[in-house]
Amino acid sequence: MNENDELITDAAIRETYEETGCKVKLTRALPISTVCLNNGETVVRVIFTADIIEENIKLDTN
């Protein structure tokens, strides 16, 4: 989820780092799609491919 005026590409890089500990470089966007939720909302889904620049995966053992 992007925050305020954050670019979607910056959000993807940030979210990847927050969730995995990996720093990435986005390489391309896959086809954009829309998803209709049960509550009537429609969301736009953008999926990127990326290369790992720095890998620092930490497992949460809790």
DSSP 3-state of 15:
helix
Higher pLDDT, 35 or 1: 35
pLDDT in the model for residue 2? 62
Does residue 62 carry a pLDDT above 90? no
Q: Quote the pTM value.
A: 0.76
pLDDT (tens digit, 9 = 90+) per residue, 2-48?
667 899 999 999 999 999 999 999 999 999 999 999 999 999 999 99
pLDDT of residue 3: 66
How confident is the model at residue 16, as a pLDDT?
94
